[in-house]
Amino acid sequence: MSIRCIAIDDEPLAVKKIAGYIQKVPFLELVAECRSAAEAMTIMDTTDVQLLFIDINMPDISGMDFVKSLANKPYIVFTTAYSEYAVEGFQVEAVDYLLKPITFTNFLKAANKVKNLIELTANNQKESVKTTANHLFVKSDYKLIRIELADIKYIESQHEYIKIHLINSTPVMTQMSLKSIEEQLPPDRFMRVHRSYVVNLAKITVIERNRIVFDGNIYIPVSEQYKEKFQEYINRNFV
């Protein structure tokens, strides 16, 4: 397991300290060190990030307000010098709240909490979908729904849910992560092209400016993180 992380703090020494702690933990992967929420948002728009270590007191937009603004929240661990923010931090479902100066022992405890939550969630989500060679069953609205893989156009992440977009049928929603469903789909037929999208490669007919176009007016962006792999597929299959 590798948990992709961003360290966010406007204080240079503080963000370096958290970044150093991340690099010491084998199951954490440092994606970026950011000095502001705006910088972090730019990275999160194109990169799949699972965990934020974020300071609360920052200029322009506070860490708390930034987290509240996120539609698809990763796991959150707040870092701050002020204990009075603890209650508000847990109200936005932060996994932990680290009070500065942060020791490596306390940091590691918070990291392990996130790791345990991810493992527990992954185990539960595997029970929400059963996949065969040609179809899958997903739990949705207390029902078990059979979906033919050939009928899937693309799958979209929506916070704690995914929306499976189908040909000639209404989308199906189920509670699980995009990563979990991606791991159960055949990689020669489906590809992750963005932090929020997995596409059925057989349904791609139009590509425009690093975007996949479905039905003439639905644009699926191909982000930098997945562009090279997608381009390799294009080079093999499009003349």
Residue 93's pLDDT is: 79
pLDDT tens by residue, 67-119 = 888 877 889 999 988 776 555 555 667 899 899 999 999 999 999 999 998 88
Q: What CATH topology corresponds to 130-237?
A: OB fold (Dihydrolipoamide Acetyltransferase, E2P) (2.40.50)
User: Which whole-number Å values give the CA distances from 179 to 78, 99, 173, 194, 238, in the listed order?
Assistant: 24, 31, 15, 11, 27
Residues β-bridged to residue 174: 162
Domain boundaries, the chain: 3-125, 130-237
pLDDT tens by residue, 48-64 = 889 999 998 888 888 88
Residue 2's pLDDT is: 87
The pTM for the full model equals 0.66
Tell me how long the chain is: 239
CATH architecture of 3-125: 3-Layer(aba) Sandwich (3.40)
pLDDT beneath 70: ranges in the chain: 84-92, 123-130, 239
- What is the torsion angle, in degrees rounded to the nearest 10, for the CA atoms of residue 90, residue 91, residue 95 and residue 96? -20
Determine the Cα–Cα distance for residues 101 and 99; give it in Å rounded to an integer: 6
Residue 140's pLDDT is: 80
Distance from first CA to last CA of the chain, Å, rounded? Answer: 38
Residue 20's pLDDT is: 97
Residue 87's pLDDT is: 53
Exposure string (b/e) for 203-214, b if CB count within 10 Å is 16 or more?
bbeeeeeeebeb
Residue 176's pLDDT is: 83
